[in-house]
Amino acid sequence: MVQTLVSVADAGAPPPANLLPESESIYRMCRETRSVAELSAELKIPMGVTQVLLSDLADQGHVYIHPTITGHSPSENQVLERALRGLERLFQ
């Protein structure tokens, strides 16, 4: 999804060999945790293309896809509560 965070396992490791230039740029940026939308915006690679390249990188074990919270299951309410407390802290 567009908000999904992605990061590499070892930020110090060089990019794997034989990556497409775009995939290599994505890999380098993912040394710091980023969202799919941020990667797409900063690298000027369209969202759909970014998603496909990331999914290939993840399949090969090069990047880690972080969980996203949709709030649709009751078990996620705890995270929503955390989000609410965060918002209250920021905007009280």
Partner 1 sequence: MDSNVSSNNSSGPASLVSTKIVVAGGFGAGKTTLVSSVSEIPPVSTEAVMTEASREHDDTSITPDKVTTTVAMDFGRLTLDQELIMYMFGTPGQARFWFMWDDIVRGAVGAVIVVDPRRLADSFDAVDYFEKQQSIPYVVALNKFDGQLDYTIEQIREALEIAPEVPIVDFDARDRRSAGGVLTCLLEYAISRPKSGELVG
The distance of closest approach from Cβ of residue 46 to partner 1 in the complex, given in angstroms and rounded to an integer, is: 4
Distance CA 46, CA 50 (A): 6
Residue 58 binds partner 1 (CB under 8 A) = no
Residue 14 binds partner 1 (CB under 8 A) = no
Cβ-based nearer residue to partner 1, 18 or 76: 76
The distance of closest approach from Cβ of residue 28 to partner 1 in the complex, given in angstroms and rounded to an integer, is: 11
Binding to partner 1 in span 62-81, by CB under 8 A: 64, 66-75, 77, 79-81
Measured CA to CA in angstroms, residue 88 lies from 47, 58, 68, 70, 72 at distances of 31, 35, 21, 20, 22
Contacts of 80 (CB under 8 A, 6+ apart): 69, 71
Cβ-based nearer residue to partner 1, 35 or 56: 35
Residue 55 binds partner 1 (CB under 8 A) = no
**Do 33 and 9 meet the contact criterion of CB atoms below 8 Å apart?**
no
